[in-house]
């Protein structure tokens, strides 16, 4: 019997929870109407505290079939007609959220486009730098070749200079040699001259 009683009590509690509606402090929204009144009590005879626009978020304090006690985002508490509130977000809120997300995406796209432009400029600069670097490498290689040729020319010039100096030294010593050879040639010539005269005299005799 205790089991049956327990089951019956559980069924009653579930039924009451279903009839009672949303749980305590559950957020709900003003449905798709222009405005609803937030009143000091659960009756149209009670004073209006403020007007709530469509999409206003409400914290449900107590939910009843006709009137529900709620707290608005501005902190004001009161009673509203239950048929004018819903746990589903109104389309206007969804539209505003989608509009905000779309705006955020557009801003992100604009930002990405600016970043892309910046990257394009940087890439162009890198390509230009790479070209200058390659040209510098080529110029360096050409310079090394020219330097090698220059060094070779310097060596050849030094060799030619040494040869010229040697030749100049030889030319400077030549007059001395001719000075020494000259008298010998004269003596030899004189000797041959005297010999030829003797031969002529002998032939006359």
Domain boundaries of the chain, sorted by first residue: 2-89
Copy the structure tokens of residue 60: 């449900």
Distances (CA, A) of 100 to 58, 79, 82: 21, 31, 29
Measured over the CA atoms of residue 78, residue 84, residue 88 and residue 94, the dihedral's sign is negative
Dihedral angle computed from the Cα positions of residues 39, 42, 46 and 48, in that order, rounded to the nearest 10 degrees = 10
Task: Tell me the pLDDT tens digit for each residue of 62-74.
Answer: 999 999 999 998 8
Task: Tell me the pLDDT tens digit for each residue of 106-162.
Answer: 888 988 888 888 888 889 888 888 888 888 888 888 888 888 888 888 888 888 888
Task: Tell me the pLDDT tens digit for each residue of 42-68.
Answer: 999 999 999 998 888 899 999 999 999
* 2-89 to CATH, choices 1.10.357.10, 1.10.287.90, 2.30.30.40, 3.30.70.920: 2.30.30.40
Identify which of 65, 109, 102 has the alpha carbon closest to the alpha carbon of residue 84. Answer: 65
Rounded CA-CA distance 24/79 in Å is 15
User: How would you classify residue 170: left for phi > 0, otherwise alpha for psi between -120 and 50, otherwise beta?
Assistant: alpha
Q: Give 153's contacts (C-beta < 8 A, 6+ positions apart).
A: none
């Amino acid at each position: 019997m205790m089991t049956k009683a327990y089951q019956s009590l559980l069924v009653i509690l579930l039924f009451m929870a279903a009839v009672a509606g949303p749980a305590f402090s559950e957020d709900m929204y003003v449905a798709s109407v222009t405005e609803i009144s937030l009143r000091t009590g659960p009756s149209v005879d009670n004073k209006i505290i403020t007007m709530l626009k469509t999409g206003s978020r409400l914290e449900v304090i107590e939910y009843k079939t006709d009137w529900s006690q709620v707290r608005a985002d501005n902190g004001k508490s009161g009673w509203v007609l239950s048929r004018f509130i819903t746990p589903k977000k109104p389309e206007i809120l969804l539209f505003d959220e989608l509009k905000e997300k779309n705006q955020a995406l557009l801003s992100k796209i604009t930002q990405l486009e600016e970043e892309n432009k910046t990257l394009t400029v940087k890439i162009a600069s890198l390509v230009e730098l790479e070209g200058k670097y390659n040209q510098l490498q080529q110029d360096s290689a050409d310079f090394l070749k020219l330097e090698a040729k220059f060094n070779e020319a310097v060596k050849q010039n030094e060799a030619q200079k040494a040869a010229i100096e040697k030749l100049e030294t030889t030319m400077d010593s030549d007059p001395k040699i001719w000075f020494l050879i000259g008298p010998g040639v004269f003596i030899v010539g004189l000797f041959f001259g005297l010999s030829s005269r003797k031969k002529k005299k002998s032939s006359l005799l």
